[in-house]
Amino acid sequence: MARTTAPNTALRAVRTGMRMKRDDFTELPDCHIRDEQHGGDGLTSPMSDLATPTPRSATVHVSHEGVWLSRYQYHSSSRGESFAGQHFVVVLQHGDRLTVRSLPGSAASSLALDLSVDGAVVTGTWVEQTDPAGHYRGARYHGAIQLLVEPTGRRMAGKWVGFGKDMDVNTGPWELTFQDASTSKTTLDRYNTPPE
């Protein structure tokens, strides 16, 4: 049976609203792993016996798509002060995977997060390309993040971890606050500005 692929108009609208070329915008791959691919091959971890699997039929996918306000705090050792980084970000969801990209006009730096959702727990990685004209002169920082989704589904809060300039491990609070479920060009244009 031939499979046709319909254009992803929501993804195209987000990409267009962010003024990005198709090649510059990373689409999530289909990351479904079937249990039968690992059956009896001894590749499962002994720790997997300790976890209680969630039946696929009981899994409820809550949509987190839309525009969120991302806010994190960090300590600058070179300046001896703490600062907050803020971006309006677009969240796209594919199953239990979230792709988060900052709107270019919302901050001088760019932010990208790739996350997976397991119930109320969101885990993944982050990358920030700092402002070329700013204090960190375009340096690229990256690390891990884990957030808890509040019961309302309108806020995620947790911690980030990453390496500093002197190869020290830093950490701090990070939260995402829901703003709008729409990813239309009109909505993205409205949020493509620095947060107040």
pLDDT tens digit at each of 196 positions of the chain: 555 555 555 555 555 555 555 555 554 343 333 333 464 444 344 444 444 444 443 445 689 999 999 999 998 877 888 999 999 999 999 999 999 999 999 999 999 999 999 999 999 999 999 988 877 788 898 999 999 999 999 999 999 999 877 778 999 999 999 999 999 999 999 999 999 8
pTM of the prediction?
A: 0.69
- The architecture (CATH level 2) of 10-19+62-191 comes to Beta Barrel (2.40)
Cα 87 to Cα 130: distance, rounded to the nearest angstrom:
12
117: nearest Cα among 186, 28, 189, 38: 28
Is residue 19 a contact partner of residue 104, using CB atoms and an 8 Å limit? yes
| DSSP helix/strand/coil, 148 | strand
Cα 195 to Cα 67: distance, rounded to the nearest angstrom:
12
Please report, for the chain, how many H helices and E strands are present, in that order.
Answer: 2, 8
- The DSSP code sequence of 84-136 is EEEEEEEEEEETTEEEEEE-GGG-SSEEEEEEEEETTEEEEEEEEE--TTSTT
